[in-house]
A and B are shown apart, each in its own frame.
Chain A
């Protein structure tokens, strides 16, 4: 059984999201708890800025629910940095057991699913899940120096500067996690590093097909189905591939990377990406729609491309993963 159904309905006790300048100017700006225009968050390096963003997000999520660190049993967190230092350094000195994760841009869905497993099992009273990314730290590590004069392709995406954090528990709360389906690693030999969306679409399809087989759903009952960061190109490929497989996906299918920016007004090409994309969009916009009752039942499918700069230089293809989480008003 690879679909985990949570009979004990771990509840979302608190959510917080933090964003950067581009996100502040985007259509979801009012759904962030905090946005900061300065890419360095007042510090001297971008790496410290991403840590600071995580620290702020974790502090906010606890403040909002008036929960102390010692009342949380476990934290699952990750980011895009080498050795996930944006997360691990942000938890320094906190009284919070920490489990680091790497799922690339799928990290938030992965951490949410694992936190739900921990709480549903009864072993953890409360669990925290956090994911982040920062445009500048990602560009430095994965692509080119910030001031380098290259042209990006129309298929490329813009790494979101953002963090999203959730506390799950059995406290009374209207929104809970119902199901978690971890993804398999899918690799159809896509090699174009400028089109991550297309590389990840097959993994999203694989998870959706497996979910449909397990649940016999026709997806029409969901108020929204949100992929993490396929972007415009990846979402297009997902629709094409699902048509070929005879999988009918509803028009409510959308993507966090498309929602977070205005692709007409903002120079973001195919849309947002990064671990912070699905994290900040879920913890701000998507959660608020569930909380106020506008939506009842949604799927979040966090998508991640699991290559490294080394594998890309060695001309390897891009394996991807897509983790599905079902969140519903309870």
Chain B
């Protein structure tokens, strides 16, 4: 009995792996370079390190949402793939895009509920991991072991 799934995969036109890899690497890197420019600019403007980081993240999120609303984000992502997906821009787009689509179903059950369609697992498992890690840290502290210096 033929393993049809494996057979059809072997015959399927492959994705241009090298091209995708290069484009995603450089575009993701460029976004991070831009982020660093923002951090440095905010620091130069007199903000402390934590606030500068927050403002940078906020700016990137804002721009990702703006680009999503203008219909530019998916056109860029089509070519650069993980480059826009992996940084915080991807998270912002993943919440903004379903909000736009689901406005048809109203602000509560449409926008409000469906906003987390793609980002939901990131929030759930990110928070759950943080809670677990917190428990591990606290339990170790009872035994006099402090690992916060390594992690934070």
Chain A interface residues toward B at CB < 8 A: 44-47, 140, 144-155, 188-192, 195, 198-199, 201-202, 232-233, 236-237, 240, 267, 270, 317
Contacts and interface: CB of A to CB of B under 8 A. Distances in A.
Contact of B15 (A153, A198, A317): A153
A233 B97 contact: no
Contact of B13 (A44, A191, A233): A233
A195 B100 CA distance: 27
A152 B85 CA distance: 13
Contacts of B71: 147
Interface in B70-86: 71, 73-74, 76-78, 81, 84-85
Nearest to A46: B104
A236 B85 contact: no
Interface string B22-47: 00000000000000000000000000
Contacts of A202: 4
| Most chain A beta-carbon neighbours within 10 Å: one of B8, B69, B98 | B8
Contacts of B97: 144-149
B68 interface: yes
B5 A189 contact: yes
Given A47-B104, A154-B14, A188-B2, A149 B8 contact: no
A147 B74 contact: yes
B78 A151 contact: yes
Nearest to B70: A147
8 contacts: A148-B74, A149-B97, A150-B77, A154-B13, A188-B2, A190-B4, A201-B8, A233-B13
B117 A236 contact: no
Contacts of A145: 97-98, 100-102, 117-118
B118 A151 contact: no
A252 B12 CA distance: 22
A152 B34 CA distance: 27
A140 B101 contact: yes
Interface residues of B, number: 35
Contacts of A47: 104
Nearest to B69: A147
A149 B73 contact: yes
A233 B2 CA distance: 18
Contact of B73 (A46, A147, A188, A270): A147
Contacts of B84: 149
The 6 lowest CB-CB distance pairs between A and B, nearest first, are A149-B77, A188-B4, A145-B97, A198-B8, A147-B97, A45-B104
A147 B3 CA distance: 36
Contacts of A153: 15
A70 B74 CA distance: 47
B19 to A, nearest CB: 11
Contacts of A144: 97, 118
Given A149-B73, A189-B5, A195 B12 contact: yes
Contacts of B14: 154
